[in-house]
Amino acid sequence: MEKIGFIGLGRMGKPMAANLARKGFALVVLDLNPVAVGELVELGASAGSSVAQIARDCSIVVTMLPSSVEVEALALGADGIFVNAKPGSVLLDMSTIDPLATDRLQAEAVKHGLSVVDAPVGRLAEHADRGESLFMVGASNADFARVRPLLDAMGTTVYHCGGVGSGGRTKLVNNYVAVTLCQVNAEALALSQRFGLDITKTLQVLYGTSANNGQLRMNFPNKVLAGDTSPGFTIDLAHKDMSLIVTAAHAARVPMPVAAAVHESFSLARASDYGGIDFSGIADVICDLARIDKPRTPAGWMVGQA
């Protein structure tokens, strides 16, 4: 059985690694946070001593790190993954990073006889907890087949989008829509609150028309509308993704004025110390700015109820 290294046990990486451990994969884990490592050891994983040791011992190394900075540092560092990995090994990066960084990683990997698969993760953190994530994968056919058992153990839906780099590019397209929907919902709910409308009636109407959307349906009811703004997916990470999206759009000469506006709205939220809350909490940010009561549904209210 291939030994799997897993680096980055945060809000997403921890449940993903846990699903691998529970399903019997031979796992070696690493994170700056020893508590997260301890939780994986309880599930049968072994604690890695360093990036170098994981790269030497594991033929597939998964990274689930915040951004391109961390992934490039760990992969390309002087005692990092690429200089230590055995030829034929695969870096399976599941973080959301700059696709140009993925291209650079792949070019460097080839020089070491290695390869890269980019497989960023769709859906919410709660889906990762339940092993119900969606993965969009950029890989050669052979590497896709090799990592597929891992993806099937962590999620329910896997799309092979094309060659290396196509997973991350698909993810940017997806997150442009998801983060922008948060912003649009936030503005709409603030207006509803200002009008003094019954929030449950407003939601009923939105859920019943073409105004309905995935964020309003899947994320808002359990998070900001229920008064739970613990992340989930932080405003900081949503801002990072909007930065990637705006930069990619500039480079590709695609005009995305709405993306630029949403990016700056999330900049404003971070400047007001909201960076660590769930991205649905952008609704609270807009309401705070306008001195409007935050949108909250009554305790126990469920989607579809009056």
List active site positions.
171
Handedness of CA 51, 56, 57, 61 (dihedral sign): positive
Contacting residue, 82, 233, 266, 274, with ligand NAD by CB under 6 A: 233
Taking CB under 6 A as the criterion, the residue among 21, 45, 64, 178 binding ligand NAD is 64
Our finding on whether 8 is near ligand NAD (CB under 6 A) is: yes
- Tell me how far apart the alpha carbons of residues 161 and 147 are, in angstroms, rounded to a whole number: 14
Backbone φ, ψ for residue 122 (5° rounding): -105, 165
Binding mask 164-203 for ligand NAD (x = CB under 6 A): ----------------------------------------
Judged by beta carbon, residue 152 or residue 197, the one nearer ligand NAD is: 152
- Note every long-range contact of 214-222, with CB atoms under 8 Å and residues 24 or more positions apart, other chains counting: 214/178, 214/181, 215/178, 215/181, 215/182, 215/185, 215/280, 216/181, 216/185, 217/303, 218/124, 219/124, 219/182, 219/278, 219/279, 219/280, 220/185, 220/280, 220/283, 221/297, 221/302, 221/303, 222/126
User: Judged by CB under 6 A, does residue 7 bind ligand NAD?
Assistant: yes
Interaction between residue 237 and ligand NAD (CB under 6 A): yes
Nearer to ligand NAD, 11 or 217 (CB): 11
Q: For residue 158, report the phi and psi dihedrals to the nearest 5 degrees.
A: -130, 125
Nearer to ligand NAD, 133 or 193 (CB): 133
- Identify residues 119-138 at the interface with ligand NAD (CB under 6 A): 121, 124-125
32 lines the binding site for ligand NAD (CB under 6 A): yes
How far CA 195 is from CA of 13, 83, 189, 210, 260, in Å, comes to 41, 61, 10, 21, 28
Q: Which is closer to ligand NAD, CB of 191 or CB of 270? A: 270
Determine, following the binding rule CB under 6 A, whether residue 11 of this chain makes contact with ligand NAD.
yes
Binding positions for ligand NAD, rule: CB under 6 A: 7-13, 30-33, 36, 64-66, 70, 74, 95-96, 121, 124-125, 232-233, 237
